[in-house]
Amino acid sequence: MSRSNSMLEKATAFDKTGLEKRELEKAFLLLKEFRAKYPFVENPQSIDWLEPEKIFKKDSNEIGEFFNYIVYSLNPLGSITIQNSNLYQNIRNQIADFKNLLRVVVDKKKSLAEKVDAPWEKINGLGNQDRQLAKKIIFCFNCESGTVLPIFNIQHLRHFVNRIADLPSGQTKYYSLGQEYAHYTTELLKAKESLPLTKGWGITYFARFLYNAYPPPDSEKPTTNSSGEGKTINVVTNEQLELREFVKLLADLQAKGKITGQQFRENRELWMHQQPNDRDITVWRLKQLLTTETKNPDHPKSQPFQKPRRL
C-alpha cells in the first residue's frame, strides 16, 4: 500500500465521533480571546504595552496571564515541555529583549525559519529544549498564515515526514535549526495538500490526525505540571501499537482457518524485521486474505511468507 493510500485510509477513519474537532473549536475560541488581549499582529506597537506582571507575578511567584494562555489554556493546540522553572522570571527580567523577539514573531516579512532562528537564547532557558516555547509563541501569532504547524518537537516532525512524505527527510543539509524546522513543516504541509480529504482540514486538525495515526515512537511523553516544571509519563510506542494490531489480524486469520499456527509465527517474525512500507504491504495482503473464502480450512490458500535472511 502506498503512503498516500495508507494516509487516506487512516484519515477516513479519523475522528468519527467529532470529539477532536469539538475540542479544537473550544481551544480556538480561547486563542481568539488571547489574540484580542494581545493584538500584536494587528498592532505591533501594542507590544510596547506588555506589562511585566503579564509575564510573571513577582509577589505571588506565579506565571502571568500571557504564558498561562500559551502553556496551559492553549495546550490543546499543541503541548510543550517547560523544564526551567525560572524561565518566566528570566523573561520578566529581560522583558525588553522579549519584546524585540515578539516583534520578529509578528513581522510578516520574516520567514518561519527566521522567526525560529531569532536570538531566543538571549534569555536563559528560552533558547533551550528545541525552542519549543518559542515555536508555540510563533504558532499562536501566525496560525492563520497556513505556513506553520503546531508540532514543536523536531524529532516528531522528522518522524511524521518519514511516515507520510514522498522523499526521505534525512537527505537535506541544514544550516540552522529554523531552516530544518521550516523544511519539515513544508514537507508535511505538502502531504496535507496532496489528498482532497486532508486538504480541507485546518492545520491544527491535521496535526491532531498525525499524532493519532502515526504516534511518535517515544518511550516517554513530556508533560508540564502546574508549576511549569517538566515531568514524564510512560506511553506505548507507535511500533508496539502497530504490532498489537498486526497480531490481532493474524489471530483473526487463524481463527477463520486462513493461516496455520506456523504461518502465524512466521508472519509475526517477518513483520518485526520489515521496514514500514513493507509492513503496510504485508498487512494489505493479509487483509485481502481475510475477505476471501476458504474452501478447505485444513489447508489454507495462503502461502507462508519467507523469513528474512540475516546478512
User: Could you say which DSSP state residue 304 is in?
Assistant: P
- 298 domain residue, yes or no: no
Judge if 171 and 261 occupy the same domain: no
Judge if 127 and 44 occupy the same domain: yes
pLDDT, one tens digit for every residue, the chain (311 residues) = 577 788 999 999 999 999 999 999 999 999 999 999 999 999 999 999 999 999 999 998 889 999 999 998 999 999 887 777 789 999 999 999 999 999 999 999 999 999 999 999 999 989 876 899 999 999 999 999 989 999 999 999 999 999 898 765 444 566 789 999 999 999 999 999 999 999 999 999 999 999 999 998 763 444 444 444 444 333 445 565 677 777 778 877 877 888 887 787 788 778 777 777 777 788 888 888 887 765 444 444 444 444 444 43
Judge if 280 and 145 occupy the same domain: no
Q: Residue 307: what pLDDT?
A: 43
- 94 domain residue, yes or no: yes
Do the Cβ atoms of 232 and 224 come closer than 8 Å?
Answer: no
Judge if 207 and 104 occupy the same domain: yes
Do the Cβ atoms of 116 and 181 come closer than 8 Å?
Answer: yes
- 299 domain residue, yes or no: no
Judge if 199 and 257 occupy the same domain: no
Q: Which cell is 22 given?
A: 469539538
Element (H, E) at 205: helix 203-213
Judge if 272 and 159 occupy the same domain: no
Judge if 214 and 112 occupy the same domain: yes
Q: Which one of 199, 234, 269 terminates a domain?
A: 234
Residue 284: give the domain boundaries: 238-290
- Of the candidates 1, 22, 3, which has an alpha carbon nearest to the alpha carbon of residue 213? 3
- Of the candidates 66, 65, 75, 77, which has an alpha carbon nearest to the alpha carbon of residue 101? 66
- 310 domain residue, yes or no: no
Domain total for the chain?
2
- Of the candidates 220, 310, 219, which has an alpha carbon nearest to the alpha carbon of residue 272? 310
- 246 domain residue, yes or no: yes
Judge if 258 and 211 occupy the same domain: no
- 116 domain residue, yes or no: yes
Q: Residue 4: what pLDDT?
A: 78
Judge if 39 and 167 occupy the same domain: yes
Judge if 155 and 48 occupy the same domain: yes
